[in-house]
Structure 1
Amino acid sequence: MMRAIRLRTLALVWVAIAMVTSALCTAVWFQASKSWATHLANAQNAGLMTYEALRTGQTTYPGITIRPVSEPDAVLAESGKFERISNTPHPAYVTVLSLQGTESGLRLGAVSDVLRYPVADIEADKVPSASAQLAALTRLFATYCSDPVLFARYGDGPWQRIDGSVVWGCDAAPHDLRLIAVLLALIAVGALVTHIGNTTQAFDTFAQAFSNRRFGGPDSYEATGPRELRDIVASLNAFLEAERTQLANRAAVLSSVSHDLGTPATRLRLRTALIQDETLRKKLESDIDSMTGIIESALTYTRTEMNAEAPRKLSLNALVETIVSDYQDVSEPVSLTPQKDVVVQGGRSLFISRPGQSVVAAGRQIIINGRPIALERAITNLIDNALKYGRSARLELETDARTATIIIEDDGSETSAEDIDALIAPFERGENTSYINGHGLGLSIVATIAALHGGSLSFENGRTGLRARITVLRG
């Protein structure tokens, strides 16, 4: 198995790659710019030497040919009909320029199959001499990567055809590598961003998997990515193993104690039954029941913490209806309020300024991913508390796209919502419970079960009494 690389090493590698890529792209860019500037300068120098060749008849710039045109073509050129001269490009776009920087003047006609050249800047005062104007024109030829045919007449001399494609034509232009440099830089940036995204995604994926552990998870986790992430996963796996071992040992001890106390508790009950004093006998039986009840409650709380039950898809409606029916079968004052239609607010769009609404029918099943036995225990604990302290229990279901809530409201409990939050801790009981059986673990078990389902336990003052709310995530 390939050993994972540390983030520090990856960062140094990518910094080095970025620096090398940046230097390479910069070098390619400047080299391409330099080659292009040299090409334009050569075209400009060719224009200067061409002007001197037309004026003096001397040798022109290497690669440029100057030859007189035929008599019919000269007549056409004199009348400005350059597009009709033989061997000119088609379609023909004609650019006519008259340079007056000398006594004799220079008349020019350029025929291109691509465009008419923008010569307005060439005739400006910033280019005063005729030679500089011709040099600017040939530079313009090279700038637009075209292959024009140039016709020129200096003073009273003959019309001549000038072919300089070797100098200012498209084939003479250097390859523009600047686009390649940009593409190379984009590829490097894309690769760096992708790698950063993959690295952070590995952390996000593990964090999401671990945060969903409240719904059940594997005994250990595996992760791909940098070495730091794998070290974190290994440490968490060791922690989970130690936690499982600790909880299992605690449950084993409590279970053993509960089992071992069964025999002496039975003997105590038998011996207590022989006591003639009825008052003393009832007190002893109550103490024995309280002792065994505490052990069983502690064992239930520990098993709940162990998160042993596997979650599955279930109908919350059916679960609550079954629990309510069981209580009603033994004539307990427990009822279920029918569900109400739920109005879901929609979002805005480009075409609708006001948010839309949709209605979820009341009879719709509420499907959640949960632990049915644990949820049943939590609901029955709250119902039992409502019956003990409030004489009756009314249940109601609320839901939205993300959560589901079971509401249990009693009838006139003496404890307020502000006081009961302190009673959620283990073995905490209210001041009015001294005459009611209990061990102070019921609400702790309910809160733990709610947390295992990604939710919470809360209390509020209802219309007739205290209202408990168990909220769980649906997915």
Structure 2
Amino acid sequence: MAQDPARNGPTLRTLGTLWVLAAFAAGLAASAMWMSSRHAWREHLTQAYVTGVGLYESLARGAPLPNGTTAVPLSPDAAALAASGDFARLPDSPKPAYVTLLPLSSTGIEAQASANLTLAIVSGDLPYRVADITPSNSSPATALGDVTRLMATYCSAPVLYAGRDGQSWLRITAPDIWSCAAAPRDLRLFSLALGLLAITALLASVGQTAQSFRSFAAALGTRRRIGGPTLYDSSGPRELRDTVAAVNTYLASERDQLAHRALVLSGVSHDLGTPATRLRLRAALIEDGDLRTRLEADIDRMTGMIESVLTLTNAELSSEAPRRLSLRALVEAVVADYEDMGHPVELIHAPAQMQTTHSIFTSRSTPARFSLDEGQVVVTARPVALQRALQNLIDNALKYGRRAKVWLTADSQAAAIWIEDEGGHDHLAQMEGLTGPFRRGENAARIDGYGLGLTIVATIAEQHGGSLSFDPAPHGLRACLRLTRQ
């Protein structure tokens, strides 16, 4: 048994749960990396501080050196250079040499048991602003701890020289305390990158899911337009797939019903052909001319009504393939047909007006308008259906307004065909309601018609992404058939 493809894929609940869990896991991992890095860094600086305090005890009172530190006495020549403050000339000094001097001396009873120290920090990268972190009232041990912590803060390879009572000088190194290799790996940047990457991935997933719903909604909203799909296919959560499958089932049922209706009406029209012909032949045998005329009119009205319903059904089926065409050429051809038959239909050759939209690349605050040359209004349309709609509007104008004026306007988004009559605008309020099937105005009682002409026009306009509207004109009504340009 084949599996329904609409049931494949995760549901929105599953996706939402995965998003929440992924966000929680990413946040937990980023926080763990951040906190681990901060803890390691604090431990590193604390160790440097403790080493500095222990180093002072070793230098001032002769205690053992802290773990990880070495002290090597300078040669007499090097000691002389150090005593004179010329640390840059020492053999082991980095080049260039940035020298930071710091005297450390005890006061009171402590001064009798401790030696006075002079420290020189020689770095090839930066000078150390020890004065900013060493208060004047701090003890020498804590001051040296602050200094070594400062040295461990930066990625450098400083050399520490210590002079005791201005006589003996020592070169002190601690590669495991204040060097780049000793600093713990800083994972804070990686934690930020992980958080941003997780947020980006989650937003992309959420956006993709939302876009699948938006795309289907947009496609469904334009399904009656030119080139719209007959069936929809969508990738996304299961709920969207189920919705698409239900819509496809409904559309297929709707198309089948329309096709069945067209088939029935076509059969009825065909089957009525022979009886209608016999009725016309028998009506011709009636000697009463007035009765014969009325009977023939009833026969024509019966067959015409069925043909109109069949035309409306075919328009709803949208079976005609759309193609690109010149709207101006189509309008000119239709008007020319009426002119050849002597009907008072006039084509106004006004150039189509185009309106630009606002652009960030221009300083113009209001949209500009310019005229198109004749033949430039190109649309994607069903030519037979569009011709039928235009003919219905012109026929209405001739029936109820004696004459028709036709012209064309266009902009970058839509094109409009205008038909103006001279029948007065007393019934303008009724026109919007006459687009329904089998609806006729109050002034149509003595005029032939079936109440489907405007319904067909409105259906064709909707299939072209447009609309049918009515406005007052100086001497009558003005119908506007608007089409979306594609």
Under a length normalisation based on structure 2, what TM-score does the superposition of the two structures give? 0.93
Q: Name 2:79's counterpart in structure 1.
A: 74
8 Å CA contact retained: 2:356, 2:412 = no
Q: Give the alignment partner of residue 335 of structure 1, picking from 328, 346, 365.
A: 346
Q: Give the alignment partner of residue 8 of structure 1, picking from 10, 13, 19.
A: 13
Per the alignment, in what secondary structure is the counterpart of residue 365 of structure 1?
coil
Aligned counterparts of 1:364 and 1:265: Cα–Cα separation in 2: 45
Q: Name 1:17's counterpart in structure 2.
A: 22
1:440 aligns with 2:458: no
Per the alignment, in what secondary structure is the counterpart of residue 439 of structure 1?
coil
Q: Name 1:208's counterpart in structure 2.
A: 218
Q: Give the alignment partner of residue 36 of structure 2, picking from 31, 35, 39.
A: 31
1:53 aligns with 2:58: yes
Identity of aligned residues (%): 47
Question: In 2 relative to 1, CA 333–358 (structure 1 residues): closer, same or farther, beyond 3 Å?
Answer: closer
Aligned counterparts of 1:422 and 1:55: Cα–Cα separation in 2: 105
Q: Give the alignment partner of residue 254 of structure 2, picking from 243, 250, 254.
A: 243
Aligned counterparts of 2:367 and 2:131: Cα–Cα separation in 1: 61
Alignment coverage as a number of residue pairs: 474
Residue 346 (structure 1) shift: 4.7
Alignment map for 1:115-194 (pairs within 5 Å) = 115-125=126-136, 128-194=138-204
Superposition RMSD on alpha carbons, in Å?
1.9
Aligned residue identity for 2:325: L
Question: In 2 relative to 1, CA 364–76 (structure 1 residues): closer, same or farther, beyond 3 Å?
Answer: farther
CA deviations on 1:112-161 (whole Å, 9 max, x unpaired) are 01100122223334x61111111101000111122100111233441221
Residue 362 (structure 1) shift: 3.6
Alignment map for 1:54-453 (pairs within 5 Å) = 54-102=59-107, 103=111, 105-125=116-136, 128-214=138-224, 215-340=226-351, 342=353, 344-347=355-358, 349=360, 352=363, 354=365, 357=368, 359-413=370-424, 415-453=426-464
Residue 99 (structure 1) shift: 2.7
Under a length normalisation based on structure 1, what TM-score does the superposition of the two structures give? 0.95
Residue 441 (structure 1) shift: 0.6
Question: In 2 relative to 1, CA 122–218 (structure 1 residues): closer, same or farther, beyond 3 Å?
Answer: closer
CA deviations on 1:314-372 (whole Å, 9 max, x unpaired) are 11011001001111111111111112363534535377364573624342511111111
Aligned counterparts of 1:356 and 1:34: Cα–Cα separation in 2: 62
Residue 419 (structure 1) shift: 2.3
CA deviations on 1:8-57 (whole Å, 9 max, x unpaired) are 11221222222222222211211111111111011101100110111112
8 Å CA contact retained: 2:117, 2:166 = no
Unaligned stretches of 5+ residues in structure 1 = none
Residue 470 (structure 1) shift: 0.4
Aligned counterparts of 2:252 and 2:354: Cα–Cα separation in 1: 45
Q: Give the stretch that moved more between structures: 402-411 or 270-279.
A: 270-279
CA deviations on 1:199-233 (whole Å, 9 max, x unpaired) are 22222232333333212434322222221111111
8 Å CA contact retained: 1:415, 1:466 = no
Aligned counterparts of 2:369 and 2:235: Cα–Cα separation in 1: 43
Per the alignment, in what secondary structure is the counterpart of residue 123 of structure 1?
coil
8 Å CA contact retained: 1:339, 1:362 = no
Aligned residue identity for 2:243: I
Q: Give the stretch that moved more between structures: 400-409 or 86-95.
A: 86-95
Unaligned stretches of 5+ residues in structure 2 = none
Per the alignment, in what secondary structure is the counterpart of residue 223 of structure 2?
helix
Runs of 4+ in 1 over 6 A off after TM superposition: none
Q: Give the stretch that moved more between structures: 30-39 or 172-181.
A: 172-181
Residue 172 (structure 1) shift: 0.9
Per the alignment, in what secondary structure is the counterpart of residue 171 of structure 1?
coil
8 Å CA contact retained: 1:346, 1:358 = no
Aligned residue identity for 1:281: R
Q: Name 1:456's counterpart in structure 2.
A: 467
